[in-house]
Amino acid sequence: MKKVLVTGVNSYVGNSFAEWVEQYPDEYEVDRISVRDDKWKEIDLSVYDSILHVAGIAHVSIDPNMEEKYYKVNRDLTIELAQAAKEAGVKQFIFMSSIIVYGDSKAEKIVIDRDTKPNPSNFYGRSKLEAEEGILPLEDDYFKVAIVRPPMIYGKGSKGNYPKLAKAAQKLIIFPDIDNKRSMLHIDNLSEFLRLVIKNEDKGLFFPQNKEYVKTSDMVREIAYAHGKNIYLTKAINVILKPLIPRVNTLNKVFGNLVYEQKISEYKQIYQLKGLEQSIKATEWEFLRK
């Protein structure tokens, strides 16, 4: 039995993971806590085998007044919690970082591999990277540190860009057919990956993603299909849109390129349980049932 502590009672990833491992009642026991104040310091961490630290500020902000808070929550709290975990004798500390440590998506097609140097373009990315740099020196033979850098996560209940694309897919009749590539990660694939990392007591740097890259227009079409609708993809306005992608942040988020090399996402056990079509159906049909 692995006893796991998940930080962030309102965390999408944390709650999804806890729900996922309910399939294995004899193998995992999960507790969830808030770390918004110092009450977590009163908890006896020594009873846990692993801490899955997913609490943090998850979305990019350009408000300079938010910068200090990002570093306080994403960096300083992570380091403090990891230090406390090590002192308590916890065996494994898993930190949910992000692909954002490599910067924003790009108009040009660049593939991130193990030799690619992180290059954050904002204080969200820098706060995540500095948290990584702060906890890695804590690792030793008795305290394993696992850093996970997922790409865009989507699934039932997800936030961020996916719900916006889903709404567009249900309302629009036509959509631009831009040839871009994105690494993405369905929440069930991520939850299974985290389960295995905990089961195997892994350490190191990990880059989980779906088996296939995603073209935004293909994803929008799959979402429309899941709702029984057709959407027409057109290249007619590409000549106008393409020059704007590197200049307009919203267009860059939708049509930019941001991918991991598939090889660095390989793992010793299968975690990519759902492909794009299956994951879209699972996500959208869940919404339709609500």
Q: May I ask the CATH class of domain 2-158+185-209?
A: alpha beta
CB 167, CB 227: distance < 8 Å: no
Q: What is the mean pLDDT of residues 191-203?
A: 98
* pLDDT score recorded for residue 86: 98
CA-based nearest residue to 116, from 103, 125, 106, 128 = 103
* pLDDT score recorded for residue 156: 87
* pLDDT score recorded for residue 161: 84
| Residues shown for the chain | 290
Query: Which residues neighbour 183 within 8 Å (Cβ) at sequence distance 6 or greater?
Result: 99, 151, 152, 209, 210, 213, 214, 258, 259, 260, 265
Return the percentage of the chain with pLDDT > 70, whole number.
97
User: Is residue 69 over pLDDT 80?
Assistant: yes
pTM higher than the cut 0.75: yes
Bridge partners of 148, per DSSP, are 96, 206
What is the C-alpha separation between 100 and 105, in angstroms, rounded?
Answer: 9
Query: pLDDT category, 288, cuts 50, 70, 90?
Result: very low
Q: DSSP secondary-structure letter at 66? A: G
CB 213, CB 182: distance < 8 Å: yes
Q: What is the mean pLDDT of residues 162-175?
A: 92
CA-based nearest residue to 58, from 107, 99, 20 = 99
Q: How far apart are the first and last CA of the chain?
A: 34
Mean of the per-residue pLDDT values for the chain? 93
User: Is residue 286 over pLDDT 70?
Assistant: no
